Amino acid sequence: MTTNNTCQLTNNQINTMNKTEAYIIASKFYLTEELPSDFFELDEQELTDFIRDNRWEPFEEWEPHGIWDLIEDLASEFLTITNTEK
């Protein structure tokens, strides 16, 4: 059985978050290993493979593209909050 990392954000993390950080933090909610810091440089197949290999147990039946959509949505919410808090 795999578990995901504990996902706790401080106010400082939210207030200073950039796009890359938002995606990496969001990935912790759905993957057993967070996205690497250079994930934007990965091609689509490498990213798909990474997500497939690191799906958290509740999402192990999900397709990688569906998990990526969840990560994008959550990262977008983080960035919206960041922009609202400034």
Decide: 30 and 70 in contact? Cβ < 8 Å: yes
More confident residue, 16 or 76: 76
Residues 65-76: pLDDT tens digits? 999 999 999 999
Rg (CA), the chain: 13
Give every CB contact of residue 83 below 8 A, 6+ residues apart in sequence: none
The structural domains of the chain, with segments of one domain joined by +, span 26-34+42-86
pTM of the model: 0.80
Residues 31-72: pLDDT tens digits? 999 999 999 999 999 999 999 999 999 999 999 999 999 999
**Number of Cβ within a 10 Å radius of residue 76:** 14
